[in-house]
């Protein structure tokens, strides 16, 4: 071994092939059988990892490979009859481990930039069932399940729930589509990722946040357009209507895009409903759950059955539609999700009974999104690594 890299791992003596995150994602999407050796610590692995229908994932922390003589029991856990993709957090440990395995005859590659690189994948997928004016796209971040929306018509565009890490991407996509990005709208104060609305305002885009969210202590409200229930924003001939849907948070707001798709933020997902405890904690959760029930029953489920729902997140339990987007007609969700046909007491009991852990670093992400504390781009990116955990447990909500 020779030359220490910036991660303080020796560079392997043998050349190690690498795979880019985008190329690995394409192979997973194509249904290839992939075997991953994840060398992060077990706690990180259990919190979030790369999954897929034909992905086999093995977790052996990198320190198990540091001795010149790797334990036979460790090697016995790693298949030697197929290619192995080794990954770590940033790419240093995985290259070292892949080299150690290659020297022992394994067929290996390592993932460029590790899970940090995986977290930079951001895909724009056309919503084919959208039948409003113009075109509608869904943004997908597979590492965390974050979703956003881009509506485009007649030279203008609006992005809903933009992520700060992809500020340049929205500007570039608008240019590629030959339109000007005119609006950036947030559905609520997010707890799982850093919003990109303020950065887009700095680029000349009109920022929109729900007026109801300002009571939580937003410090930049005077730079924003404050949306109240019923407000409409025009994008070419398309209309984005503001629909107040409190529950996940007191200021939670949905946006109905030209009567065709309801961007529900963290209120309703294609596989679950919101968790109600991220604003007022366990104490305020029962009241928030009742608010959520009323919002869903009175403001969302009253829309025509063929209205599409698109949330701000998806989980491993979500099945994409035929067009590859995580969208579904309201009628189908009502038919498939027991929680949407329960009475209020049953609904409240259900979503309070089985909530997953809160999002990683939410106690720093919320104040950052409120403008109460600062984070530079790298700090912001690091804060939001991991699962979003903004839904109630999927297992308890789906129909049998």
Domain locations along the chain? 2-118, 123-397
Q: What is the DSSP letter of 12?
A: P
pLDDT digits (tens, 9 = 90+) for 129-177: 999 999 999 999 999 899 999 999 999 999 999 999 999 999 999 999 9
Question: Is the pLDDT assigned to residue 309 strictly greater than 80?
Answer: yes
- Give the CB-side neighbour count of residue 92, counting CA atoms within 13 A: 11
What is the homologous superfamily of the domain 123-397 according to CATH? Answer: Ribonuclease Z/Hydroxyacylglutathione hydrolase-like (3.60.15.10)
pLDDT digits (tens, 9 = 90+) for 194-228: 999 999 999 999 999 999 999 999 999 999 999 99
Question: Is the pLDDT assigned to residue 10 strictly greater than 70?
Answer: no
Q: Is the dihedral of CA 3, 90, 369, 228 positive or negative?
A: positive
243-268 burial: b if 16+ Cβ within 10 Å, else e: bbbbbbbbbbbbbbbbebbbbbbbbb
pLDDT digits (tens, 9 = 90+) for 82-140: 999 999 999 989 999 999 999 999 999 999 999 999 999 999 999 999 999 999 999 99
- Return the pLDDT at 200: 98
Q: Is the dihedral of CA 271, 395, 389, 141 positive or negative?
A: negative
The partner residues of 310 in beta bridges, in order of sequence, read: 263
Q: What Rg do the C-alpha atoms of the chain give, in angstroms?
A: 22
pLDDT digits (tens, 9 = 90+) for 172-197: 999 999 999 999 999 999 988 999 99
**For a pLDDT cut of 90, what percent of the chain falls above it?**
76
Catalytic (active-site) positions: 88
Q: Give residue 396's pLDDT band: very low, low, confident or very high (50, 70, 90).
A: very low
The partner residues of 184 in beta bridges, in order of sequence, read: 159, 207
Q: Where are the beta strands (DSSP E) in the chain?
A: 2-4, 10-11, 17-19, 34-38, 55-59, 84-87, 108-111, 123-126, 135-141, 146-153, 156-160, 180-185, 206-210, 225-227, 232-235, 238-244, 253-257, 261-265, 308-311, 328-329
Class of domain 2-118: alpha beta
- Return the pLDDT at 397: 52
Higher pLDDT, 4 or 152: 152
The partner residues of 223 in beta bridges, in order of sequence, read: none
The partner residues of 126 in beta bridges, in order of sequence, read: 137
- Return the pLDDT at 340: 96
- Give the CB-side neighbour count of residue 294, counting CA atoms within 13 A: 11
C-alpha closest to that of 145 among 377, 339, 310:
310
For residues 226-241, average pLDDT: 98
Sequence-separated (6 or more) residues with CB below 8 Å from residue 174: 152, 157, 180, 181
Q: Taking each helix axis from N to C terminus, what angle separates 281-295 and 344-353, rounded to the nearest 10 degrees?
A: 140
**For a pLDDT cut of 70, what percent of the chain falls above it?**
95
Strands 135-141 and 123-126 come out as antiparallel
Q: What is the pLDDT of the chain when averaged over all its residues? A: 91
Q: Give residue 400's pLDDT band: very low, low, confident or very high (50, 70, 90).
A: very low
- Return the pLDDT at 398: 46
Report the C-alpha gap between 109 and 276 in whole angstroms.
Answer: 42
Give the chain's length: 400
Sequence-separated (6 or more) residues with CB below 8 Å from residue 191: 278, 358, 359, 362, 365, 366, 390
Question: Is the pLDDT assigned to residue 393 strictly greater than 80?
Answer: no
Question: Is the pLDDT assigned to residue 4 strictly greater than 60?
Answer: no
Question: Is the pLDDT assigned to residue 321 strictly greater than 90?
Answer: yes
């Amino acid at each position: 071994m020779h030359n220490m890299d910036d991660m303080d791992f020796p560079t392997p003596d043998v050349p190690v092939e690498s795979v880019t995150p985008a190329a690995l994602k394409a192979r997973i999407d194509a249904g290839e059988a992939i075997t991953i050796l994840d060398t992060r610590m077990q706690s990180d692995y259990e919190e979030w990892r790369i999954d897929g229908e034909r992905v086999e994932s093995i977790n052996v922390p990198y320190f198990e490979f540091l001795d010149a003589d790797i334990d036979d029991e460790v090697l016995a856990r790693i298949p030697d009859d197929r290619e192995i993709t080794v990954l770590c957090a940033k790419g240093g440990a995985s290259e070292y481990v892949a080299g150690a395995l290659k020297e022992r005859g394994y067929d290996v590659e390592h993932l460029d930039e590790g899970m940090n690189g995986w977290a930079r994948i951001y895909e724009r997928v056309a919503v084919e069932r959208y039948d409003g004016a113009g075109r509608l796209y869904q943004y997908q971040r597979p590492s965390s399940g974050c979703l956003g929306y881009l509506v485009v018509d007649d030279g203008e565009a609006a992005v809903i729930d933009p992520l700060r890490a992809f500020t340049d991407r929205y500007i570039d996509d608008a240019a590629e589509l030959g339109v000007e990005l005119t609006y950036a709208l947030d559905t609520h104060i997010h707890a799982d990722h850093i919003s990109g609305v303020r950065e887009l305002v700095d680029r000349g885009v009109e920022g929109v946040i729900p007026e109801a969210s300002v009571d939580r202590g937003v410090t930049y409200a005077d730079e924003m357009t404050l949306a109240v229930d019923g407000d409409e924003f025009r994008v070419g001939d398309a209309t984005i209507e503001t629909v107040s849907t409190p529950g996940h948070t007191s200021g939670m707001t949905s946006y109905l895009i030209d009567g065709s798709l309801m961007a529900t933020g963290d209120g309703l997902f294609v596989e679950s409903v919101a968790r109600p405890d991220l604003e007022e904690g366990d104490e305020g959760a029962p009241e928030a759950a009742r608010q959520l029930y009323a919002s869903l029953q009175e403001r969302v489920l009253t829309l025509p059955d063929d209205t599409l729902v698109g949330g701000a997140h998806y989980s491993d339990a979500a099945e994409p539609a035929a067009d590859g987007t995580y969208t579904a007609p309201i009628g189908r969700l009502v038919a498939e999700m027991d929680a949407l046909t329960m009475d209020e007491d049953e609904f409240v009991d259900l979503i309070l009974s089985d909530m997953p852990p809160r999002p990683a670093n939410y106690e720093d992400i919320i104040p950052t999104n409120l403008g109460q504390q600062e984070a530079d781009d790298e700090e912001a990116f690091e804060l939001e690594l991991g699962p979003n955990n903004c839904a109630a447990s999927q297992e308890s909500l789906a129909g049998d």
